[in-house]
Chains A and B, each alone.
Chain A
């Protein structure tokens, strides 16, 4: 009866049970950019309230881990470090790996950890994992500063000059790919944990195991001629860690094709992740 309406009504929001797989409104995410930055600020400010050392705590973990690696992998196991100063070798690996692992673990509990906010108010859910990735950049910056300080120390007193070169331009690219893989995997896992908490358990030790399958504490060249070397090479994080060291020290082997492999892996993970995420975000409150 009412079908012959002359004007078609336009609606700003339509709430429907299901949406197409690619119902990702980046425009909306952009509109909420202030919120994203405030979450970053909150994470950073709240983390060290009522501590004396504050953000200095971000330095303690890489220093202690470096000392540990130095002892276990260098002194005890005697693994050679690609002609890079062992301390710089371990610290560079730990710095970039920390970024990846914190992106992954902190985004993987997005839904469960923020259920109380998500249950009360709507904003594009993707804001939260994105803010995690951004606030981890601050931490990466601090730890990278520590690494630079060590490199300068070695250049001044130990006669290992720093090679500034075009290769340093690779670093931002590596960080972006790292963030992409961490974010992509993180949101896939966070989508699955809303129903099955089993994945939370898996992530905590899975990340730890993955570190040993990544050339963080040993160079990829150490594995040459070993039967399981290809396994480590298939790990999409390996080229990123190796590439990071190559960019800093111009030592070690780095091959551009493997970087492309990592990049493609990131694209696949990001696309799958956002697809699953946007499907789950609509009703996860009922199952979380």
Chain B
């Protein structure tokens, strides 16, 4: 067996800002150093890949000294935040760009799926596009012809196979594109978050197909995703990237929890206004979040069955906002959503007064989650429009065994949350 992919000291440097300004002078300088057989002057400078801090250098290392091996038949998950270097690594692996230093050695045929439907031509029919797309992905005409019926059946587009794909619904388009990709027969399959598209049923089908590829055919899969659930169910091993370097590598469970911890080591009092990766119009934003117990004391550990108060402090940037809908969700260490709640669900109206900051309390009675760590994420609407949706975690709740049933019975964390029944003997 042995390694089928070997990544050695891989680094990739990018130039920031306007690409064309000053490129000639840098090119000439580079060439002049090369002629005198000196080191490239621009390779020395360069900072780590941290998008939140402003650097001084024009050059940045998107990847720095990456080393790992992948064994035959393994499904390796690659996780990391936006900008951690996942895509750059994929680009180099799929040979759409070359590394700055280091090397990758690969055994066998590689097919990369950084996008579904690469090269689809809207004017061509489904049939023509299957052949074109298949060939782009590295199949020969014969291989495609052999799998043709299966591809069409998998995509479920038999009726429309001779219609130009521009008339397809977006769902059909994606299904057809993925069907082609799913029938590739490479030794190594590289998949980016293409599973994020399509309906839930189709996603399941895709995950099933990818599992088949690795289980039955013994092929190697590299899977890059934000979807911790998909990584958990598909992968046999995982690597977590942070700022262009490997942060953690190991079993899927260990890597995911390391990823969640390392990206969320903010204490509960940090200023949430500083989070940069957030969607929405920012009319109202999350400022701070902390937890309080029944006695209004600030805590970060709570007991199952206790009452916990979530204290949100919001910053109102636009005083014209008349009504806010605040929502939050709980996630487990795999980033799977456990529960969520919006103030609007309970017809509670948050109407800001004229002040710059407002504080909203939400008390959860008889906290049902059993022992473990929960991550809180949040999203807000101002007058019906999304105003803030930080992609990062807002806070952490560490839940410990507690007296949920108020009977002195403490049960362990077999199930993620507990329920309270009203029992009766009927006769």
> Interface on A for B, CB 8 Å cutoff?
9-18, 31-32, 34-35, 38-39, 41-42, 45-46, 49-50, 116-123, 195-197, 282-283, 285-287
Contact = CB atoms under 8 A, between A and B. Distances in A.
Contacts of B98: 15-18, 282-283
A13 B96 contact: no
A35 B135 contact: yes
Contact of B119 (A117, A195, A197): A117
Given A16-B99, A195-B20, A196-B20, A117 B14 contact: no
B49 to A, nearest CB: 15
Given A17-B99, A34-B141, A119-B96, 6 more contacts: A14-B103, A16-B99, A35-B135, A195-B20, A197-B20, A285-B96
A17 B102 contact: yes
Given A13-B106, A46-B121, A122 B2 contact: no
Given A32-B135, A45-B123, A11 B106 contact: yes
Interface string B109-143: 11010110011010110001001100111101100
B269 interface: no
A14 B104 contact: yes
Contact of B128 (A32, A45, A122): A45
Contacts of B397: none
A11 B107 contact: yes
A195 B20 CA distance: 7
Contact of A286 (B14, B107, B108): B14
A204 to B, nearest CB: 20
B110 A120 contact: no
Given A11-B105, A120-B96, A286-B97, A42 B128 contact: yes
Contact of B97 (A38, A195, A196, A283): A283
Nearest to B11: A17
A13 B97 contact: no
Contacts of A122: 94-96, 110, 112
B301 interface: no
Nearest to B111: A121
B121 A42 contact: yes
A120 B115 contact: yes
B198 to A, nearest CB: 18
B138 A123 contact: yes
Please name the 3 residue pairs, one residue from A and one from B, whose CB atoms are nearest each other, closest first.
A122-B95, A35-B135, A282-B98
B23 interface: yes
Contact of A17 (B101, B124, B131): B101
B128 A121 contact: no
B96 A195 contact: no
A147 B135 CA distance: 36
A16 B103 contact: yes
B100 interface: yes
A245 to B, nearest CB: 37
